[in-house]
Amino acid sequence: MSSKFNKELQVLIRDKVISPELADKIERYYATKNIERPNRLFMIFGVFGALLIGSGIILMLAHNWDDFTRLTKTILAFIPLIIGQILTGYSVLKNKSVTWKEASGTFLFFSVGAAISLVSQIYNIPGKLSSFLLTWIVLCLPLLYVLRSHVITLLSIVLSTYYAVELGFWNHWSIKVPWLYIIFMIAIIPYYYRLLTKNISSNAVTIFNWLLPMSGTIALGAFVGASDDLGFIMYIILFGLFYNIGKLPVFAETRTARNGFLIIGSLGTVVLLMIFTFQLMWDELLPGRFVYDNQEMYITLGLLVVSILVFGYTIFKKGIKTITLFQVAFMVFIGVYAIFFASGILPVIIINILVFALGISAIKIGANKFNFAILNYGLLIVSILIICRFFDTDMSFILRGILFIAVGVGFFLTNYIMLKQQGSNNQKNRKR
């Protein structure tokens, strides 16, 4: 137990908030609780140790020792792998502690990478980096279900993203679509879901809550090929999907800062829609330019179906009244796009109204929850929208002036009402 906590208890006794007996009880309660918890520090050191040793081995092998014979190099390639397997096998067989499993699994993960990398060096195997990463992921991803290891999951997500980017962006030869990235993510989801349902407030879940949408955001770019116009629509749907995942009933008790899906989804949606408040974007995005039979189209449709399913599930569980505008923003965009794409200024106006409404809705959510961060986020959306419109020179000065005044008044009123309400709430609490 931390000394800070003990000090706080002493202060509470001194100020006569709690009795010394109660302080004793509290102290004993936390002492027993701490015994049940595995030693976290030990686990962190174990994992970091394995991580450093493992990557150190890879780096040393990357030196490419010329003086060794092929046989020596080959034996060297297998030694870390065998050690890793023995350690991991031992921790599985004896069902050892989480620390054991995490550390041995991490070491094994890197030793697999070292083994295939050294064999590639010895025989000058020409495969590109992406095929090397692919072999590595395939050989290590199943470990996460045997060891239930957070670190292996994390490494698998990072490597899969690297693989997708390498294959889709950086491969000069021929850009390929990293379909296998989707398979890897599907393989990871059951593990993540189990964590969510078991221990949603743990730090590991928070890390995955952020890492998974970040990985998806980066990797989706690798799926955008020649039809890059469709890329914007793919991203709008992806962010809609993330937001709706963040709104699933399972996240209901999660703090906003721990809900990466919600934040990335919301920010992404707002930024992209903001771009579409410009007329220029609509001129660029005429559907006549699309090729319909390509990977972008399949991904778009796939994302759309999944997003609508997730959205439908939320309605089914929570009821239609809880739906916020952020959850349906991507559908509104798709609708506007499908119906009005060729109607000149009309879609631009609708998207402007949509972004404005999103800002207002964020302000409303912030006001209802007394959350100043969300309130300010809403105000920020509205202000940026107004600033963007300032650059549209074809809008009359009178209209722009009116908009600015409206926003100014809005800022003033919102803050005033919120502060007043907070004041009256505080008064009520004091009376109690």
Stretch that binds another protein, among 28-36, 140-148, 257-265, 297-305 (CB under 8 A): 140-148
Stretch that binds another protein, among 123-131, 192-200, 246-254, 364-372 (CB under 8 A): 123-131
Per CB under 8 A, contacts with another protein among 56-115 are 58, 61-66, 74, 77-78, 81-82, 85, 88-89, 92-93, 95, 108, 112-113, 115
Asked whether 240 and 307 are in contact (CB, 8 A), the reply is: yes
Residue 300 in contact with another protein, rule: CB under 8 A: no
Q: What are phi and psi of 203, to 5 degrees?
A: -65, -35
Nearest to 83 by CA among 57, 118, 108, 54: 108
Q: How far is the CB of 363 from another protein (least distance, A)?
A: 46
Nearest to 242 by CA among 220, 270, 212: 212
Residue 392: CB atoms within 10 Å = 15
Q: How far is the CB of 228 from another protein (least distance, A)?
A: 18
CA atoms within 13 A on the CB side of 87: 21
Stretch that binds another protein, among 125-133, 205-213, 237-245, 257-265 (CB under 8 A): 125-133
Rounded to whole angstroms, how far apart are CA atoms 157 and 393? 45
Q: Candidates 2, 16, 21, 173: give the one binding another protein (CB under 8 A).
A: 173
Residue 121 in contact with another protein, rule: CB under 8 A: yes
Residue 3 in contact with another protein, rule: CB under 8 A: no
Q: How far is the CB of 272 from another protein (least distance, A)?
A: 31
Q: How far is the CB of 227 from another protein (least distance, A)?
A: 18
Q: Candidates 12, 23, 98, 139: give the one binding another protein (CB under 8 A).
A: 139
Alpha carbon 415 to its chain centroid, in Å, reads: 31
Cα R_g (the chain), whole angstroms: 27
Nearest to 152 by CA among 79, 51, 40, 49: 51
Pick the closer one to another protein by CB: 116 or 350. Answer: 116
By rule CB under 8 A, what count of residues binds another protein? Answer: 44
Pick the closer one to another protein by CB: 120 or 206. Answer: 120
Per CB under 8 A, contacts with another protein among 199-258 are none
Residue 126 in contact with another protein, rule: CB under 8 A: yes
Pick the closer one to another protein by CB: 115 or 236. Answer: 115
Question: 351-378 burial by CB neighbour count: b if 16+ within 10 A, else e?
Answer: bbebbbebbbbbbbbbbeeeeeebbbbb
Q: How far is the CB of 110 from another protein (least distance, A)?
A: 10
DSSP string, 177-233: --HHHHHHHHHHHHHHHHHHHH-TTSHHHHHHHHHHHHHHHHHHHHH--S-THHHHH
Q: Candidates 13, 53, 146, 365: give the one binding another protein (CB under 8 A).
A: 146
DSSP string, 145-162: HHHT-HHHHHHHHHHHHH
DSSP string, 250-268: GGTTS-GGG-HHHHHHHHH
Pick the closer one to another protein by CB: 176 or 389. Answer: 176
Pick the closer one to another protein by CB: 71 or 338. Answer: 71
Residue 132 in contact with another protein, rule: CB under 8 A: yes
Pick the closer one to another protein by CB: 109 or 276. Answer: 109
Asked whether 157 and 205 are in contact (CB, 8 A), the reply is: no
Q: H or E stretch including 331? A: helix 325-340
Pick the closer one to another protein by CB: 58 or 403. Answer: 58
Pick the closer one to another protein by CB: 45 or 65. Answer: 65
Q: Candidates 44, 125, 252, 402: give the one binding another protein (CB under 8 A).
A: 125
Rounded to whole angstroms, how far apart are CA atoms 330 and 333? 5
Tokens standing for 143? Answer: 């470990």
Residue 169 in contact with another protein, rule: CB under 8 A: no
Q: How far is the CB of 183 from another protein (least distance, A)?
A: 16
List residues binding another protein (CB under 8 A). 58, 61-66, 74, 77-78, 81-82, 85, 88-89, 92-93, 95, 108, 112-113, 115-117, 119-126, 129, 132, 135, 139-140, 142-143, 145-146, 148, 173-174
